[in-house]
Amino acid sequence: MRDDLAHPRTRRSVSAAGASIRGTVVLMHSSKNASADASSSSAAPSAPQPTRAQPVPEGERPEMPELSVWPGRPYPLGANYDGSGTNFALYSSVAEAVDLCLFDAAGTETRIPLTEEDADVWHAYLPSVQPGQHYGYRVHGPYDPARGHRCDPSKLLLDPYAKAMSGQVNGSPALYSYDFSDPSVRNQDDSAPATMRSVVVSPYFDWGRDRPPSHEYHNTIIYEAHVKGMTKLNKHIPEHLSGTYAGLAEPAVIDHLKNLGITAIELMPVHQFVNDTFLQDKGLANYWGYNTIGYFAPHNAYAAHGTDGQQVQEFKSMVKAFHEADIEVLLDVVYNHTAEGNHMGPTLSFRGIDNAAYYRLVDGDQATTSTPPAPATRCSCARRRCCS
């Protein structure tokens, strides 16, 4: 590592009104993208008209503050706010270039090339970025499925280490890097209008005197629960908190568990998951949640007070309330697949960042991911009830 990387205050300034060329910050405006059924190969729609966001003419661009970009550090991975600014770090061993994409409240996208790379980690420190900032990545690199590489800068990618995510995924074909009518043809439509955003969060929280109860296993009585199922119809929980983390921390729930002698609550998936287009097209949702896309982010639909990082504070408050009642919190997780499914699934995060690093590929056929398809295609969770 060069000496200047050890000093985050080494400055590099770029203007958000830069031209649309690599090496400068690129200002883009997102456009709406029509939703379509992307779940059935038998009724696959033809490729839509391109929806790539186009730069606004120079004379029509709003005034934008100058963005300072410092080298930052390669670790820890993810977006980490230190009370002043935010360090961004993304691992990709195949990337040739990486763009950090920042979004304002209107959906305007500002692209910042990450020029610092150490041990396959691309990084930068932005002193102006605060909690609540929406962001994503675009990774430039080889798109060579036969060798297991699926980099595609037209796809906005979620940060695998994001601690919060906002929005939902819709059924747009733009999420896929191939044409439904002919998988051998590339689909390079911009996926930004159709996907979620990662969110910078504040790490600060008043845990007070919190300590995990740490009950001995032979004295542990576990109660498995679903955040929404446990609270949605409970008449003792305020209506605006039903189906949420805050609702689960209500005295009505905790007192009930204490009366049963429960020492630990095991929550069914609370990591950020995706509702498959197969279900969205029917006006349904994935109730069980075994379709993870963000392993470090609480599922935003279970938040009562906001999804711009507020879900993290709410989740921590829930855990703190259980600990105060001498109840441990365990999490049910799924690691044998993600919401990207198999090799024919959408490009949402891991696949576009470093497919061969994040997924186990089939020996002798690197174009095929051995990961099972997402639950909407075939239920692969232990309970086999994802799509019930």
Q: Kindly report, residue by residue over 214-226, the tens digit of the pLDDT.
A: 999 999 999 999 9
**Span 336-341, average pLDDT:** 94
Distance of CA 197 to the CA centre of its chain: 7
- The CA distance from 37 to 299, in Å, is 24
Among the listed residues 358, 55, 29, the one whose alpha carbon sits nearest the alpha carbon of residue 192: 29
- Asked, as a colleague might, if the bond just before 346 is cis with ω within 30 of 0, I would say no
The band of 172, judged by pLDDT with boundaries at 50, 70 and 90, is very high
- Asked, as a colleague might, if the bond just before 76 is cis with ω within 30 of 0, I would say yes
Among the listed residues 196, 367, 148, 186, the one whose alpha carbon sits nearest the alpha carbon of residue 293: 196
- For residue 306, give both structure tokens: 């906001």
Q: Report pLDDT digits (tens) over 100-117.
A: 999 999 999 999 999 999
Q: Report pLDDT digits (tens) over 66-99.
A: 789 999 999 999 999 999 999 999 999 999 999 9
Residue 260 has pLDDT above 90, yes or no: yes
